[in-house]
């Protein structure tokens, strides 16, 4: 009897969760539709901002923005995003252009879009000149990508949800890194080959030699052991002590 009551309560809880999700999803989705108060026409905009308005240079059909044109979305009176492409029933998909304005930075994307988001193959160039040639999924890099910085650095690899994955980064002076990246920083395991032939092979964290590794040159090992923030500390005990001290400083 007790088991039956527990199962019954569990089933009722499941039904309640499903019901709440069913109610919440349409409400959330409705927030992404913008409506022109003058014409009543709607357009899908995934920018998740309140107080949005828009202007549209193309046509409309059945109450929705439709056809080829340029859509500019305004947030509190300031241009926030601009889309160029072909809309079908208020949604932009296929080849197009997406320009975002962030106050401090601007990005220009040209390539495949889905519902107004970067999705597929495309190229995004930031205001400072940084260039991303990548496979995109819902605005995030997901797949093969090449990043070229205005300083001349170049990164190529396979990444998920941004620049996290495995790749190769080269510098204009001839330095080269092969290994793991987390959010664009050298992390996990990797090999750094400097222009003078010196090699570091081992663990990385936040673009620094961190953990166990070895330094070699011309086939001869110079140092092998534990590193902390690019400094050789020798033993694991010293490394752990440094880690503990850093954690205490961060806690302060």
Give yes or no for a contact between 175 and 196, defined as CB atoms under 8 angstroms apart.
Answer: no
Please say whether the dihedral angle defined by the alpha carbons of residues 162, 167, 172 and 173, taken in this order, is positive or negative.
Answer: positive
Whether 8 shows a pLDDT value over 50: the answer reads no
Whether 21 shows a pLDDT value over 60: the answer reads no
* Span of 13-22, 128-137, 213-222 with lowest mean pLDDT: 13-22
What does the pLDDT read at residue 32?
A: 84
249 burial level (CB within 10 Å; 0-12, 13-18, 19+): exposed
Q: Work out the average pLDDT over 178-188.
A: 98
* Span of 92-106, 118-132, 156-170 with lowest mean pLDDT: 92-106
User: 40 vs 34, 64, 149, 197, 248, CA distance in Å?
Assistant: 9, 8, 44, 66, 58
Q: Work out the average pLDDT over 149-165.
A: 97
Q: What share of the chain is helix, strand, coil (3-state, %, to 5)?
A: 20, 55, 25
Q: Work out the average pLDDT over 68-86.
A: 94
pTM of the model: 0.82
For 235, half-sphere exposure in the C-beta direction (CA atoms, 13 angstrom radius) is: 3
Whether 158 shows a pLDDT value over 90: the answer reads yes
What does the pLDDT read at residue 136?
A: 98
| pLDDT averaged over every residue in the chain | 87
User: 242 vs 22, 184, 209, 248, 249, CA distance in Å?
Assistant: 51, 25, 14, 10, 11
* Span of 8-22, 143-157, 182-196 with lowest mean pLDDT: 8-22
Q: From 175, 204, 163, 174, select the one nearest 187 (Cα to Cα).
A: 204
Q: How far apart are CA 102 and CA 117, in angstroms?
A: 16
Whether 17 shows a pLDDT value over 70: the answer reads no
Class of domain 163-252: mainly beta
- At 19, the pLDDT band (50, 70, 90 cuts) reads very low
Residue ranges of domains in the chain:
163-252
Q: Work out the average pLDDT over 15-27.
A: 37
* Span of 7-11, 54-58, 96-100, 168-172 with lowest mean pLDDT: 7-11
- At 22, the pLDDT band (50, 70, 90 cuts) reads very low
């Amino acid at each position: 009897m007790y088991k039956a009551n527990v199962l019954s309560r569990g089933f009722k809880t499941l039904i309640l969760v499903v019901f709440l999700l069913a109610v919440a999803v349409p409400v959330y989705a409705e927030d992404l539709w913008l409506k022109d108060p003058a014409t009543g026409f709607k357009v899908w905009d995934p920018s998740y901002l309140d107080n949005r308005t828009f202007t549209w240079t193309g046509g409309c059909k059945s109450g929705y923005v439709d056809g080829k044109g340029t859509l500019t979305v305004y947030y509190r009176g300031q241009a926030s995003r601009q889309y160029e492409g072909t809309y079908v029933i208020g949604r932009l998909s296929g080849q197009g252009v997406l320009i975002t304005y962030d106050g401090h930075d601007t990005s220009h994307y040209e390539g495949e879009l889905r519902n107004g988001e970067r999705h597929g193959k495309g190229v995004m160039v930031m205001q400072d000149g940084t260039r991303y040639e990548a496979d995109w999924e819902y605005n995030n890099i997901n797949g093969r990508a090449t990043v070229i910085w205005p300083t001349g650095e170049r990164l190529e690899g396979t990444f998920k949800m941004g620049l996290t994955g495995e790749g190769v980064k080269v510098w204009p002076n001839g330095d080269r890194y092969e290994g793991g990246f987390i959010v664009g920083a050298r992390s996990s395991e990797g090999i750094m080959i400097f222009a003078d032939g010196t090699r570091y092979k081992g663990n990385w964290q936040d673009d620094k030699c961190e953990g166990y590794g070895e330094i070699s040159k011309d086939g001869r090992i110079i140092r092998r052991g534990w590193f902390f923030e690019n400094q050789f500390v020798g033993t694991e005990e010293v490394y752990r002590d440094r880690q503990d001290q850093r954690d205490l400083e961060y806690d302060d």
